[in-house]
Amino acid sequence: MADPLSPDKLDLPTFADELNTAGVTSDYLINKLKEELDAKETKFFQHEGLVTEERDVIAWGIRQNARKDAHKLKGDYPAEKVEHTVSLEDKLRAIHEKRDQTNK
């Protein structure tokens, strides 16, 4: 008999549901991303401890990270490959260790 409390049977809210309920919707995130793509920052120039000038300049770091995020979200980059290498010796050692633990 299937367990009625198994995670696949429960109707629990997902984390995405929780974010939406909290106001972090797709529209909200899109607007924030658009703001970051046009980000500026204020640079202050001082002389002898006094601010003599301030300028709004392009925040290149923020814009670059936002651009990368946008490309990732759109799926413009290929999926990242993760390769794991395990030697036969390592596999056999793990099998023997597991067997030894169950025989104790």
Residues 6 or more apart in contact with residue 58 via CB below 8 angstroms:
39, 40
Kindly report which listed range (4-8, 13-17, 99-103) carries the lowest average pLDDT score: 4-8
Percentage, residues of the chain above pLDDT 90: 56
* Predicted confidence (pLDDT) at residue 12 exceeds the cutoff of 80: no
Q: At what angle do helices 26-37 and 60-74 cross, to 10 degrees?
A: 140
Q: How is 33-93 classified by DSSP, letter by letter? A: HHHHHT-EEEEEEEETTEEEEEEEEE-HHHHHHHHHHHHHHHT-SPPPP------HHHHHH
Q: In this predicted model, which residue has the larger pLDDT, 44 or 1?
A: 44
pLDDT at 8 over 70: no
pLDDT of residue 37: 97
pTM for the whole thing?
0.58
pLDDT per residue as tens digits for the range 78-88: 877 878 777 88
Question: What are the boundaries of each domain within the chain?
Answer: 15-78
Q: Cβ contacts of residue 9 below 8 Å, gap of 6+?
A: 2, 3
